[in-house]
A and B are shown apart, each in its own frame.
Chain A
């Protein structure tokens, strides 16, 4: 096994070659904010929160998809990175309709956690108040597009772990939204197995169990990582 040694925020660490910076940082006990990353499914590098500075390169690189190399010196908390992360979170808040006080995920929301982590208390950019819909056609679950941050975790988990590919992204640019089947109501998509993995994968309160009220959603994100390792390594307990 080839090993690379590197430094993250002054901490020396040795990891297996091919490890992502994010995994190396986790091993070193250095937290890096992230939203689109989910253990167990393919990383996409879309939320840009996990960008880090690497000495000797002029571009910030996403920790989730960048593999470590020997002698890498990584900084995860430069003032510039902190400022950019805060702006990113502001942009996400301004894009949708994220009202924590009436959200099912209040208190258990990754977006909320990240906002606190990066110190975002208000958005300097005007809120756009988009008019997006809510789909409650599924007997057990619902999706509120107003709370969606387009991380595509539901899309990937449904395709890669469940194998149903109910979800995908429709349209493009600012008009992007999560689509079920041929833009049908979720409840009418034959491929859906009602497994609920998308509910657990969703970092916010966008996909939820019906009947949940404010603050009641408790997503089990680790279950998806557990499922992946269970299938790969035949470890059926956690």
Chain B
């Protein structure tokens, strides 16, 4: 799951899958066609795939490789090079802690430590109930309001560890 606002959460995608199984592949078709099936559109297509499916499943990667006429290993290599692409499903909610320098100097590391302790997971993991994924970002450019955390795509600034935990607690109660 990508730590940006552009990505939808997994939950709606999963519902969509049950109702209309082909729609998301159609989105891939449209994107590939718009790019004339050019191999250099790989990253563009993977962005769309990640958004539509929530993560990059093996069959999705295979579908993209086939459509863009690319070797499987090349597609896998690109998908695993970039941090925003995920090959594993992620939680219903995302919590991305900025670990840029400004946030670090202002205690971003403490926010992260507290969240890890509270959620009982490490960075890059999802809580066992599938509710929250905890991630870190390399500077989201909101240094003026450090330390910053992105909760489900919405940036929150000047957070204390306790405030960050309170935000996550709301999800846990759902």
Contacts and interface: CB of A to CB of B under 8 A. Distances in A.
Contact of B76 (A159, A179, A191): A179
A93 interface: no
A182 B81 contact: no
Given A181-B72, A182-B72, A191-B72, A169 B61 contact: no
B61 A182 contact: yes
A181 B80 CA distance: 13
26 contacts: A159-B71, A165-B73, A166-B71, A166-B73, A168-B71, A168-B74, A169-B77, A170-B76, A170-B77, A171-B80, A171-B81, A179-B73, A179-B77, A179-B80, A181-B72, A181-B73, A182-B58, A182-B61, A182-B65, A182-B72, A182-B75, A182-B76, A183-B76, A189-B72, A191-B71, A191-B72
B4 interface: no
Majority SS at the chain A contact face: loop
A166 B71 CA distance: 7
Interface string B33-75: 0000000000000000000000000100110010000011111
A180 interface: yes
Interface of B: 58, 61-62, 65, 71-77, 80-81
Contacts of B73: 165-168, 170, 179-182, 189
Contacts of A171: 80-81
Contacts of B71: 159, 165-166, 168, 191
Contacts of A180: 73
Contacts of B61: 182
Contacts of B77: 168-170, 179
A80 interface: no
A172 B74 contact: no
Nearest to A170: B80
A183 B75 CA distance: 10
The 9 closest A-B pairs by CB, nearest first: A168-B73, A165-B71, A168-B77, A181-B72, A182-B72, A170-B80, A171-B80, A172-B81, A182-B76
Interface of A: 159, 165-172, 179-184, 189, 191
* B-side interface mostly: helix
Given A172-B81, A179-B80, A189-B72, 4 more contacts: A170-B73, A170-B77, A172-B80, A179-B77
B85 to A, nearest CB: 11
A180 B72 CA distance: 8
A169 B73 CA distance: 8
A50 to B, nearest CB: 25
A59 B33 CA distance: 45
Contacts of A181: 72-73, 76
B75 to A, nearest CB: 7
Contacts of A166: 71, 73
Nearest to B83: A172
Contacts of A168: 71, 73-74, 76-77
A149 to B, nearest CB: 18
Nearest to A173: B81
Nearest to B73: A168
A181 B61 CA distance: 11
B53 to A, nearest CB: 15
B71 to A, nearest CB: 4
A183 B79 CA distance: 11
A142 to B, nearest CB: 18
Contacts of A172: 80-81
